[in-house]
Structure 1
Amino acid sequence: MDHGDEEQTLSEAKEELEQWKMKLEKAEDEKSRLQLAKLSAEDEKKAAQKDMLVLQQQGEQRMEEFTETLKGIKGEILRLKKGNEDLMKKLVESQALLQAKRAESLQLQQRFKIHAQIPEKKLKFTNKIEKEDSDNGDEHIKGVFTITQRPTVILKGGQALITFEEETVAAHILKMAKCTVSCDKDKVDVKPKFLTLDPSVKFEVHLDVSTKAVNFSNIPPSMQEERMKDRLEISFSKPSRGGGELERVDYDMDTGRGQITFLNTGVAESVALKGKFCVDVDREVNVNVSLVYSYKLKKFQTFCGIPRRSIILNDIEDVQDEEDLQDHLEIHFQKPSNYGGEVECIKYISRGKKIKAFFSEDTAEMEA
């Protein structure tokens, strides 16, 4: 091999060496890059593992919270269900109580209904009341009536009602479980008991009666409304029939009713007292007439109590007739030796009968 070939070979070797050096450097760079990538991947892995651990812990915490929440919701559902059942039970009880109260209210309404015919009273005017300043002061008559229901009790057969003059006597008798009353050859055991009166009421009726107006009814619908008003005005204006000059005519064609207002006072009263009034429509018709009035109930009061001087005797056997046995009872309970005293009133009812006793503040009377 000549010198030129050696130099060429050496040159090629150097070039190849340089190439390998470059490849080595690239390999080292790639190795460094891969090592850095590995370190970065490991850091990311650690971070991911850490995040995963945090997420796992959060998931477990969320699961615990969900479990607790679900448990609380189930408990709340059970509580609400029980509360609903309790409310339904209370609703049923309240409905039953409401029905009972309604029945009691209806019973009390029936008990406190007062049907009474108020008798006519002769009035004596003792003084004059100054008239209030009013444009229509003479158009109305006002009255106030106080209605008082007397307390009552039902006296049944085999019972006696005794009213003593002294409260202490009744109190002593009521302390005894029974009293033995001698009736000639017989003896009767009676049981004294407290007397409870039925509830009573007291109220005022404020009455306002018009002195110029009357109501009428029973008008046949035989003509137009305006024409009927004219006929009514003509009829009620005739003095020969007890009428007078009119101020106003009100008429309802659908009901056949209406109201006549006279110009002067006194005419309405004389017309209403007749009860009937002859009206010329297409023929003569007698219509019903009545005074115009209004009323209000005020100061309504209910009260009940126990009379301190009166007692009830129960379980009385009919060993004698009614009057004789009543006399023996009165004699027995008048004797101080029997803890009795002066008897103001006594009433005995034999078996199979009953009466109602009415009470006032100081006396008691019986009514069959």
Structure 2
Amino acid sequence: MEPLQAGDPLDEIKKLIDNYKKKHEQLLEEQKELVACRDMQQGLAAQFKDRAVKLAQKLKEEERSYIERLTDSETQLNQLRQEESDLKEKIQMIKAVLQEEEAQKKLLKEQTEVFTAVPEKKVVFLGSTGSADTAQAFEMEANIIYPMEGGTALITFEEEVVATQILAKKLHQVKLGGECSITVEARPVHLMLPKAVEINTDVCPHRILISNLPNMDIHTMLYELEIHFSKSRNGGGEVDTCDLLPDSGNVVLKFVEDSYAKGLAEKELHEVKLQGAKHTVRVTPFLNGKISHFKAESMPCPQTVLLTGIPNVMEPETLQDELEIHFQKFGNGGGEIEAILYNPVGQDMSAVFKDISSKPEEVEEQM
């Protein structure tokens, strides 16, 4: 408080009271302003808090949405990767199919070349016809080599039942005159025969097949053909070999290089000077054959038996005759003999079978 001055004490007191009232009023105004400011700050704080809550919720929603979009994107990416993998597999499959088609195309082209490579052969229709059902398939003539041990014999009977009887009895006592006899054992004969054969053929780039050749001296013909096709003006080159195929009468000519055979085969017809006169020969590609698949099976010879344990007791021809006589007699369980081959002890011999079907087998000696 302010000290009272000497003078009118009431006036001074009034002044003091007025001053304090003013100050009081100022304080009340300031208090109101502070209250208003406080209320405003509290309102702002509430607004900020509300906004913060909303922002937090929005962030959570955005985060959840982002995670969902990320998951969807990963799913789509995995699907795209799977589609890419499937497409790659399809591409590989298509490439494999294309390669197979190319291989098939190449094979067909080679087959076409093979078909066109067959030498011409003149045929004449004689008027005979037949059913298509009776057409025969491709066949190979059997030529089976059967090694024989010493002291054995092969006998082929006309009837299969006779061979069956001989095999059933197994041991046979063969009389050789007087009190002399031998005991032989009858065994079945099995041969390994081809059941399935596949041969791949391709055109040889070094060889040509020459057909439509005249009848003349073989050595002269081969010499003149070699001279003709060794000249570059005739489309040829250096010749390696020139050989005759005795079964067909055609000639196989082989070049050292592989750049001549194709051109000569494409021209096909060539005029060659043979025996002082021009002769038109036909040149076709030469085919190489390679066995790609071979399957064999053991087949019994139903009319042939193998006799073993035959000792060397007399001349081979005489002993073979004695065996034939014994096994021809019906009393010994034998029958009519188609062929017989005896191999004495200590000798090497092979039998050649031409057929093991129901027809009689042929058994030939091969030293």
TM range (shorter): 0.3 to 0.5
What's the TM-score, normalizing by structure 2?
0.42
TM-score scaled by length of structure 1 = 0.42
